[in-house]
Amino acid sequence: MARFSRADFTLEAFRRQLANVDALPQLCVLGLLSGVMTGAVMVAFRLLLDAGALLYMPGADPEAFEGLAPWLRALLPLLAVTLIGVFLYRQKAAAHKLGVGHVIERLSYHQGRFPLRNWLNQWWVGVVSVLGGLSAGREGPAIHLGAAASSGLGVKLRLPNNSLRVLVACGTAAGISASFNTPIAGVIFAMEVVMMEYTLMSFMPVILASTMGAVVAQAVYGSEPAFRIPEVSLGSLMNLPWVVITGLAIGLLAGLFIHVSRNRRLSGLPLWLRLAVVGVLTSATAWWFPQVQGIGYDSLAAALNNQLGLQVLLVLVIAKLLVTAITVAGGVPIGIIGPVLVIGAAAGALSGALGAWLWPASAADPGVFAMLGMAAMMGAVLQAPLAALMALLELTHTPNIMLPGMLVVVVACLTSRQLTGCEGFFVSSVRYGLHPLQQPLMQALSRVSVPAVMERQLVRTERIVTPEQARKLLDTNPVWLLIERSSDDKPVLGMKAAALARWLLEHDEALKGEPPPADEVVDLLEIPGQRVEMAPIALQATLSEAFLKLQDKALGALYVVHGYRPKQQRISGIITRGAIERYYHYSDPQDKEPTV
């Protein structure tokens, strides 16, 4: 039976265990903490929306724009873009990045570390966007707030960077779970859209985080499903061809949405003009059709229950799609997931109404097609079919809708990707060449931190030593000698200790028992042996960071720096290309065939 000491339960031991690829218990602990924290953050964000709605919204409902006077609901978007322009865009350009795209960018290129200023901006920009009558959702802010808060916990505890990746996924899943009350969809969204991988080491902590996020949200808002809909089914299988046609149409709508939101002509306009276009367009549309404002969950619920007229459905499909896409193209950082669900549900309801007119005897209820359209639009825009299907199941609580749901989601995703040339909305928004999260090798190396493979047996020494000092250097059986230079601008050099041991042996043989000269010294840069230039790398870094740093041809290895204050830093180990290659080329020796 394994014995544990008090040292096994210290924070330092916890960090050391997290550096390995098999730190599942430790990651699960982080998942629980992340879920509780993100759930609390999401509840606070929703309370902020409710508090803001108390000031002027009918019934203190953040979605009740229809109850406002036309002049007031038309004025709100103009005020919203003015506030965002004045208080957000007067900051540095790096502070403008918010939402899911920002989360993926920080995970891909910054090891999951988030700037505090962006996190603080997300709070008020998210509230202003929704309550200001822009076509915006709360899921984007929830994901950013949750992921950044979870990552911040890891940074505060000085955890290795490979665990920060998992914390970002945990915060994402818990944010979706607490926002929609959809814990399974939160898990799939985090793995499919943000992490872009499915591994056991990530799945279990993310599941725990999503569960705890939902528990915290349900403790405040109850466990009722997001939408109440009657029991419905597809009915006759004769509806399946119309399901395929619906998927084709929604896939084209998804492609249109992405192309408009990436319109370079609009995004190239001066900032003041872009914000003016967004504000005036939203304001003019809201004067006549307030359904385009806000998230639109009230309209979504009405579409699922077949309670919207054709005119309103057309407005939601055309006007809300264009207003949302132009808002994104105009540079306003909004959440798109909620509006995308509303647009898809309206498009599906229109398709169902047309099918009922063409085949009244066998056509399914338009509410069924509204459900299918909701999932199809989400899947096609995000290129996340599993997340869309799980959202469909958890939002509607209708398991028998899954068969046509799978068909319509796949058709819509294929149509958007193949016929309109659109990749996932968030991937295309952060792509600079080949996306790092889509490279299997970089994914594998990102799961492990350098302490897991670094060589710890080393000793630091000056360049010039006496033979006696040289022998003492070898007393601890080091593998590496780190040769310190006379000035900081010269690179640290590393040499295998075996080279010094060989030189001392040959030196003693050459003396033939005679005592060495009293003033004899050893120049470690002159004795035979291969020396390599080294550069520093942080103890928290992942193998992917080390791999990229070692692409510099001049570097032969990296020395791992431990410590957080410059004058107190120490070198903990050495990592070489060979150590990284042995990690990802590793195979069990028992699997090899015996040689003769």
Domain boundary residue, one of 175, 195, 221: 221
Residue 493, beta-bridge partner list: 483, 533
Question: What is the structure's pLDDT at 389?
Answer: 92
543: closest CA among 449, 444, 451? 449
| Residues 426 and 561 reside in one and the same domain | no
pLDDT surpasses 80 at 21: no
Q: CA of 278: how far to CAs of 270, 281, 457, in Å?
A: 13, 5, 61
| Residues 470 and 574 reside in one and the same domain | yes
- Residue 228 forms part of a structural domain: no
Residue 482, beta-bridge partner list: 460, 494
**Using 50, 70 and 90 to split pLDDT, how confident is the model at 546?**
confident
Question: What is the structure's pLDDT at 172?
Answer: 94
* High-pLDDT (> 70) share of the chain, %: 91
- Residue 469 forms part of a structural domain: yes
**Using 50, 70 and 90 to split pLDDT, how confident is the model at 6?**
low
Q: How many CA atoms lie within 13 A of 435 on its CB side?
A: 20
The CATH number linked to 482 is 3.10.580
**Using 50, 70 and 90 to split pLDDT, how confident is the model at 17?**
confident
DSSP for 70-108 reads: HHHHHHHHHHHHHHHHHHTTTS-GGGG--HHHHHHHHHH
Q: How many CA atoms lie within 13 A of 208 on its CB side?
A: 19
The CATH number linked to 13 is 1.10.3080.10
- Residue 584 forms part of a structural domain: yes
Tens of pLDDT, residue by residue over 458-473, are 888 888 888 888 888 8
| Residues 388 and 246 reside in one and the same domain | yes
| Residues 459 and 427 reside in one and the same domain | no
- Residue 1 forms part of a structural domain: no
Q: Which residues of 453-469 are buried (b: 16+ CB within 10 A; e: fewer)?
A: bbbeebbebeeebebee
Tens of pLDDT, residue by residue over 37-91, are 999 999 999 999 999 999 999 988 888 899 999 999 999 999 999 999 999 998 9
- Residue 142 forms part of a structural domain: yes
| Residues 470 and 520 reside in one and the same domain | yes
Tens of pLDDT, residue by residue over 372-406, are 999 999 999 998 999 999 988 888 887 888 889 99
Tens of pLDDT, residue by residue over 407-449, are 999 999 999 999 988 888 887 555 544 455 556 667 777 778 8
Separation of alpha carbons 337 and 254, rounded Å: 12
Domain boundary residue, one of 168, 186, 221: 221
| Residues 180 and 298 reside in one and the same domain | no
Is 90 exposed, middle or buried (CB count within 10 Å of its CB: 0-12, 13-18, 19+)?
A: exposed
Q: Which residues of 175-191 are buried (b: 16+ CB within 10 A; e: fewer)?
A: bbbbbbbbbbbbbbbbb
Separation of alpha carbons 348 and 153, rounded Å: 42
| Residues 115 and 192 reside in one and the same domain | yes
Question: What is the structure's pLDDT at 591?
Answer: 41
| Residues 433 and 484 reside in one and the same domain | no
Tell me the residue range of the domain where 143 lies: 8-221
| Residues 384 and 248 reside in one and the same domain | yes
- Residue 232 forms part of a structural domain: no
Ranges 161-170, 450-459, 555-564, most confident: 161-170
| Residues 359 and 265 reside in one and the same domain | yes
Question: What is the structure's pLDDT at 333?
Answer: 92
pLDDT surpasses 70 at 103: yes
Question: What is the structure's pLDDT at 283?
Answer: 95
Are the C-beta atoms of 293 and 286 separated by less than 8 Å?
A: yes
Residue 112 CB neighbour total at 10 angstroms: 27
- Residue 542 forms part of a structural domain: yes
pLDDT surpasses 70 at 189: yes
Question: What is the structure's pLDDT at 5?
Answer: 54
Kindly report the average pLDDT of the chain as a whole number: 85
Domain boundary residue, one of 438, 464, 487: 438
**Using 50, 70 and 90 to split pLDDT, how confident is the model at 589?**
very low
Give the total number of structural domains in the chain. 3
Angle between helices 385-396 and 161-180 (to 10 degrees): 40
Helix or strand run (H / E) with residue 576: strand 570-576
Is 4 exposed, middle or buried (CB count within 10 Å of its CB: 0-12, 13-18, 19+)?
A: exposed
| Residues 140 and 165 reside in one and the same domain | yes
Question: What is the structure's pLDDT at 592?
Answer: 43
Structure tokens at 314: 């057309």
Tens of pLDDT, residue by residue over 570-582, are 788 888 888 888 7
- Residue 333 forms part of a structural domain: yes
| Residues 328 and 184 reside in one and the same domain | no
